[in-house]
Homo-oligomer: A and B are copies of this chain.
Amino acid sequence: MRLHGAALRLLRRLRRTDVELGVSTARLSALSVLVFGGPKTVSELAAIEQVSQPTMTSLVQGLTRQGLVRSEGDPSDRRVRRLRVTAAGERLLRRGQQNRVETLVAMMESLGRQDVLALGRAADLVEQMLAIAPDAP
């Protein structure tokens, strides 16, 4: 419950930061998957981000319009679109990270070192939880 509310408010707060970059949170998150995980198909991205495929199609279209991502056909299977970050996309993500990191760091100044570590650990735990039980009750 507290976890729920905390996540909700944290995202609302960070969204304000992302807006300044001209990229929404959801797009930024998808973009970062491409940067750190390499090229992916729409369906793969959707699975990783845990959204429906149409949702991911739309996010990717947005990123493509913004020139942050480019999609290329797969010669061996002409149904798939393989998505790759552009140079602009990588630049933006780096800036975005700085931006977000700055925001978080500013906020975290009220916390001790131990607490910051605890937050990092918590993030890992949540990811782990979701990876193991993506479709619990």
Listed in ascending order, the chain A residues whose CB lies under 8 Å from chain B are 1-14, 17, 25-26, 29, 32, 49-51, 97, 100-104, 106-111, 115, 118-130, 132-134, 136-137
Contact = CB atoms under 8 A, between A and B. Distances in A.
Q: Is the interface of A mostly helix, strand, loop or mixed?
A: helix
| This protein's copies in its complex | 2
Contact of A14 (B4, B9, B13, B29): B4
A26 B7 CA distance: 11
Given A3-B104, A106-B137, A136-B103, A10 B122 contact: no
A28 to B, nearest CB: 8
A6 to B, nearest CB: 4
Nearest to A129: B107
A126 B11 contact: no
6 contacts: A3-B119, A8-B26, A111-B128, A111-B129, A119-B125, A122-B122
